[in-house]
Amino acid sequence: MKIALAQLNYHIGNFEQNTFKIIQAIEKAKEQGAELVVFAELSVCGYPPQDFLEFNEFIDLCEQSAQQIKDACKDIACIIGLPTKNSKIEGKDLYNSAYFIHNQEIKAVINKALLPNYDIFDEYRYFEPALKFGCINYKGVKIALTICEDLWNINDNPLYIANPMDELINEAPHLMINIAASPFSYMHDDERVAILSDNCKKYNLPLLYVNQVGSQTEIIFDGGSLAFNEKGELLDEMAYFEEDLKLYEFADGNIIGHVVKQHIPQSDIEQIHHALILGIKDYFKKSGFTKAVLGLSGGIDSALVCALASEALGPENVMAVLMPSEYSTDHSIKDALDLVTNLGCKHEIVAIKEAASAFENMMKPIFKDLPFNIAEENIQARSRAIIVMAMSNKFGYILLNTSNKSECSVGYGTLYGDMAGAIGVIGDVYKTQVYKLCEYINRDKEIIPINSIVKPPSAELRPGQKDSDSLPEYDILDGLLYQYIELKKTSAQIIAMGFDEVLVRRVLKMVNVAEFKRYQTPPILRVSPKAFGMGRRMPIVGKYLS
């Protein structure tokens, strides 16, 4: 049997586009001689649909799209993912389902059993878990069809009390197929390959795994659909960060025509780069926007975001606004202008001294003779936000936020100032990773000025200011933050690793106190295993400090 895996980029709730893509892929697979074409989890509506699932019309439109796909599925079979209604009064109203369609008929409905409810996932909020299991019989091949998480309960610390494949194996299937919506993080691809390989070894079955690709606001899907033999050896992996359709032949109990290969992942930085480019592209395309604006300071963070946006959207669609203050250095302005020249993007220069002075004069009767402090610094940052938001409103630009994860973690940023924006491009990228990303972008030629990379980082809101005046050196800070945020270690555990006790307690307190700021910042493109936003939910007024 020839089986095609269709790795597509879906748009949540865009039924017309998703249905068109699926039908188009069915026709393409049929032209290539496929007898079965497989699509990803919730492919009909896009993943994750979140509270759209609470609208009856949304579910009805899913079914209507499925019927259109069914009518187009002639002389071939397909597997699609969609939410379906639970006919029983008991339990949740919906299942996370897969339709097996052959010759314009829905031959089988498979429901997902293991519903993830951790990190970014919230499936148990909407779906009822499956309790019944059965294989699909097609052209003499018995297929154990599972949906994403259904294959992830195989490690030494099971999250669920059930395992769907333990039930399905009793029917002696010939092949496993798993349809997935498996989000990207730069640490996830190795884990994914290992988990799927373990399933093949445990059940002595080959596996075809299809993942979706594309970005849904902050969540990015990297594709990388996979094929394994019954020994758990990797036979093939499809493209990463782009759509793909590939044909596999199943015969004599295995996937043939492929030699065993080793999974050689891209470097973390290369993966993050591709993910951020895809995240920016899809955020703009799926939201109906084309042009971006950002504040360009001459520093490394805004330089990186400007370079990424220019690559993703085209430099002609990026407006960089230089907003020097009275404390900005000449070299910062030059570095910003050099970047604009290298990229070919648009730019404007709007000095903020006059605006900041006007605000300070307005506040003099209230501030009286109190010394210059963070209040005046933040007036400058918020003056800049007013300028870029004015340009956004006037010209239809979408504001990109340029705060990095190190700053977001400890609250080193001005709420309603440099923390403003529609999407946080590097808010899940630590400062030390920012440097590596700039080096990666400069791998063939200098795009980001070297001076922006090597000079000490500074907000330039007071004379001679440096980040190190307020924060530890970033290599120390980022290592500490990673242990706390990604690995969820306690202060005692981090101190035991050799970090200074006073520093640990200070930094962790800064992280927790800044929670109210993060609640009011834009969605952040997720590239790590633990990003701020929907994947990390902390109380604002919580007293606990680990």
Instruction: DSSP for 471-486, please give it.
Output: S--HHHHHHHHHHHHT
**CB contact at 8 A, 184 and 155:** no
Closest CA to 26 of 102, 93, 83, 92: 102
- Return the pLDDT at 267: 95
Mean pLDDT of the chain: 95
pLDDT exceeds cutoff 70 at 154 = yes
Q: Give catalytic residue positions.
A: 41, 112, 148
Nearest-5° angle of CA 459, CA 469, CA 419? Answer: 35
Give residue 279's pLDDT band: very low, low, confident or very high (50, 70, 90): very high
Place of tokens 């504040």: 295
CA 208 to chain centre: 24
**CB contact at 8 A, 335 and 449:** yes
d(CA 366, CA 379): 15
pLDDT exceeds cutoff 90 at 6 = yes
Which residues have a Cβ under 8 Å from the Cβ of 228 and sit 6 or more positions away?
Answer: 196, 197, 200, 206, 207, 209, 234, 235, 255
CA atoms within 13 A on the CB side of 379: 21
- Return the pLDDT at 265: 86
Looking at domain 2-265, its CATH architecture is 4-Layer Sandwich (3.60)
Angle between helices 474-485 and 501-513 (to 10 degrees): 70
- Return the pLDDT at 471: 87
Tens-digit pLDDT profile for residues 404-417: 999 999 999 999 99
**CB contact at 8 A, 333 and 295:** no
- Return the pLDDT at 462: 64
> Looking at residue 371, what DSSP letter applies?
P
d(CA 396, CA 289): 8
Tens-digit pLDDT profile for residues 113-149: 999 999 999 999 999 999 999 999 999 999 999 999 9
Tens-digit pLDDT profile for residues 22-41: 999 999 999 999 999 999 99
Tens-digit pLDDT profile for residues 495-517: 999 999 999 999 999 999 999 99
Give residue 331's pLDDT band: very low, low, confident or very high (50, 70, 90): confident
What value does the mean pLDDT take over residues 413-438? 97
The values of phi and psi at residue 480, to 5°, are -65, -45
What value does the mean pLDDT take over residues 241-266? 94
CA atoms within 13 A on the CB side of 118: 7
pLDDT exceeds cutoff 90 at 202 = yes
- Return the pLDDT at 461: 66
Q: What percent of the chain has pLDDT over 90?
A: 91
CA atoms within 13 A on the CB side of 125: 13
What value does the mean pLDDT take over residues 161-178? 95
| Ramachandran quadrant class, 141 (left: phi over 0; alpha: psi -120 to 50; beta: rest) | beta
List residues bridging with 85 in a β-sheet. Answer: 94
Return the sign of the alpha-carbon dihedral for residues 368, 373, 374, 380.
positive
- Return the pLDDT at 314: 98
List residues bridging with 245 in a β-sheet. Answer: 6
d(CA 379, CA 319): 23
Closest CA to 276 of 218, 322, 213: 218
The values of phi and psi at residue 341, to 5°, are -65, -45
Give residue 159's pLDDT band: very low, low, confident or very high (50, 70, 90): confident
Tens-digit pLDDT profile for residues 452-500: 999 887 766 667 667 777 789 999 999 999 999 999 999 999 999 999 9
Closest CA to 342 of 447, 440, 442: 447
Burial of 156 (0-12, 13-18, 19+ CB in 10 A): exposed
Tens-digit pLDDT profile for residues 286-301: 999 999 999 999 999 9
- Return the pLDDT at 158: 82
Class of 271-467 in CATH: alpha beta
d(CA 204, CA 223): 25
- Return the pLDDT at 463: 72
63-67: Cβ within 8 A, 24+ apart? 64/15, 65/15, 65/18, 65/19, 66/99, 66/106
Closest CA to 294 of 382, 215, 217, 385: 385
What value does the mean pLDDT take over residues 430-454? 96
Angle between helices 353-367 and 374-395 (to 10 degrees): 130
Place of tokens 């996830």: 188
pLDDT exceeds cutoff 80 at 157 = no
- Return the pLDDT at 467: 73
**CB contact at 8 A, 6 and 38:** yes
pLDDT exceeds cutoff 70 at 329 = no
Give residue 546's pLDDT band: very low, low, confident or very high (50, 70, 90): low
Query: Which of 32-41, 63-72, 252-261, 458-467 is predicted least confidently?
Result: 458-467
Q: In what order do the strands lie in the sheet with 136-138?
A: 136-138, 141-147, 175-180, 207-211, 226-228, 234-237
CA distances from 194 to 191, 249, 365, 527 (A): 5, 23, 65, 20
- Return the pLDDT at 460: 66
Q: What are the extents of the domains in the chain?
A: 2-265, 271-467
